[in-house]
Structure 1
Amino acid sequence: MGMVFMCSSKTKTDCFRYKILGLPANKQDQVAKIYKGMRLFLFDVDLRLMYGIFKAAGPGGYNIEPKAFKNEFPSQVRFSVLDDCLPIAEENFKDVIKENYYTQNNFEGLLKADQVPYSVL
C-alpha cells in the first residue's frame, strides 16, 4: 500500500521544511494506518504534479509538527526521501489510479499495492 498527500504551492514549503505530510483532522483515522516504511507521494494541486518517492519515517500520528501548516493539517506523518525522482505530470499517472478519482480533478489518496510501482516495494 501507499498514500498520496495533497499540497498547494503554499503548503509544499512546510512539507519539505519539516519533512512532514499532513491532512485535515477528519483524516486522522486514515493517517493512523500509516506504518514506517510505507510509500508516500505528494501531489501539488496547483501544478498538478506528483512528487516522490518518499517513505514514512515512522507511524502516522496527530500534530507531530505543530508549527507546520498553521495547524490546518494536524493528521501527520514524517517522511524521508526514498528515491528523488523528477515530478510526474498528472496525465502520466492518472490511468494507474483512475478508480481513485471521485471527481474529474480530485482523487482518494490511499493506494492499493498494485498502484504503487513494484520497483519501490
Structure 2
Amino acid sequence: NVVRRNLKKRKVETMGMVFMCSTETKSDCYHYRILGLPESKKSVVEKIYAGMRLFLYDVDLKLMYGIYKAAAPGGYNIVPKAFKSQFPSQVRFKVLKDCLPLAEEKFKDIIKDNYYTRTKFNCQLNSLQVRKLCSLFTAVGNVP
C-alpha cells in the first residue's frame, strides 16, 4: 500500500520534534494545547503524524518540557489567534507523560549533531534521539 509505505518513510526521516517557545509564547502552547513554528517551517510541520513524540524547549529558561505526542497531523493555522499569528505552522499535542523539565546540559549530548550554532539546533529528531530523550525525563510523581 502506497500510503503505508509513505508513512513509514516519513517516520524514518523524523521520529520526533522539538518546538521552541519563549516565556512569552509558552502560555499559548499550554492554553491552546498547540505547538507552532514560523510559516517557513510549514513543510516540516506537515510531516508530523499523530502519535509523533514532541518536546517543547524554552529558549529563555533553557529547559525542555515533555513528553508530548502529536494529537493529530501537523497543519497550518489550526488556532489562528495562538502566538499572535507569528507561528502558523502548528500541531495539536497531548501530554504523553507529565515530567519535570530537563536543563539543556542534561540533553545537549543527545542532540549534539543537531546544533548548528552554539545555542541553536535543528528541531527534527531521529528515533534514537527520541528514545534517549524520553529516558532522561522523570515523571512528576516519581521524584525521589
Runs of 4+ in 1 over 2 A off after TM superposition: none
State which of 96, 100, 106 in structure 1 corresponds to 2:114: 100
What per-residue deviation string (whole Å, max 9, x for no partner) do you get for residues 86-109 of structure 1?
Answer: 000000000000000000000000
TM (norm. structure 2) is 0.82
Q: Which runs of 5+ in 2 are unaligned?
A: 1-14, 135-144
Match of 2:83 among 63, 69, 72: 69
Amino acid at match of 2:66: G
Higher-Rg structure is: 2
Q: Deviations over 1:48-104 (max 9, x none)?
A: 000000000000000000110000000000000000010000000000000000000
**Aligned counterparts of 1:11 and 1:91: Cα–Cα separation in 2:** 23
Aligned pair 1:81/2:95, yes or no?
A: yes
Percent identical pairs in the alignment equals 68
Q: CA RMSD in A?
A: 1.1
Question: Scaled by the length of structure 1, what TM-score is found?
Answer: 0.97
Which structure would you say has the larger RCO, counting Cα contacts within 8 Å and 6 or more residues apart? 1
Aligned-partner Cα distance in 1 for 2:62–2:120: 11
Contact 2:18 2:124 in 1 (8 A): yes
Give 1:34 deviation, angstroms.
0.1
Q: Which structure 1 segments of 5+ residues have no match? A: none
What is residue 23 of structure 2 aligned with on the other side?
9
1:119 and 1:103, CA in 2 relative to 1: closer, same or farther beyond 3 A?
A: closer
Among candidates 27, 43, 66, match of residue 52 of structure 1 = 66
Q: 1:28 aligns with which of 35, 42, 55?
A: 42
> Could you say if the C-alpha distance between residues 74 and 119 of structure 1 is closer, same or farther in structure 2, counting changes exceeding 3 Å?
closer
Equivalent residue pairs, number = 120
- Select the structure that is richer in strand: 1
